[in-house]
Amino acid sequence: MSGRGVNSRNEAFEFATRARQNLEFIEAAASRGDASEVHVVTQLTLSLLGILVFPKEKLLLGEIESTPLADLTKGGWPAWLVTHDEAGKPTDTLGRLLRHVRNAVAHGRITFSSDSPRMQDVSLLVEDKRKREDPAPYWCAEISAMNLKGFCERFLDLIRERTG
């Protein structure tokens, strides 16, 4: 079977890199006015699969997962506003945050503040539930689309730095 090489989309980091390139392409087209119906926020949300979820599932080392969010924020990473946290398990590490974001993405639990195609006009609310039928989420967080993009970029840089 072909497609198993180092620069293959089967490799999580390569897939993430390609997702980032696609997002940058859509952003550039939107900024030039080349595509009036392009929604950068939609592409950013779709990119979460490649940029956060695949690497989280396939590449995260214990060292990366246990990184305190406070350290990342001090280092200039955009912060997520956790509005409802899991009882007894605060979202204080990168691994915990990514687990909740992964669940939100996988189950379509993302709400947008606006239908604007411009990132600077939109914030995202992500929620995690234990079961589909649960009436309320047990975890919620918010982030602006611009900060989410910055977070994704920093995350890929961190993985590249730590995994070579």
Q: Going edge to edge, which strands form the sheet with 123-128?
A: 81-84, 139-144, 123-128, 110-112
CA proximity to 53, closest of 4, 79, 19: 19
| CA distances from residue 59 to 4, 54, 79, 118 in whole angstroms, order as listed | 16, 8, 22, 31
Proportion of the chain above pLDDT 90, given as a percent: 43
Compute the distance between CA of residue 128 and CA of residue 28 in angstroms, rounded to an integer: 32
For residue 1, what pLDDT is reported? 41
Q: What is the dihedral of CA 104, 29, 122, 99, to 10 degrees?
A: 20
Question: Confidence class of residue 15 from pLDDT cuts 50, 70 and 90?
Answer: confident
42-89 pLDDT tens trace: 888 888 888 887 777 776 667 788 999 999 999 999 999 999 998 889
Q: Where are the domains of the chain?
A: 12-163
Q: In sequence order, which residues have a C-beta less than 8 Å from that of residue 155 and are 6 or more positions away?
A: 51, 52, 55
Token pair for 139: 């975890």
pTM of the predicted model, to two decimals?
0.84
Whether the pLDDT of residue 10 is over 80: the answer is no
Question: Helix, strand or coil for residue 33?
Answer: coil
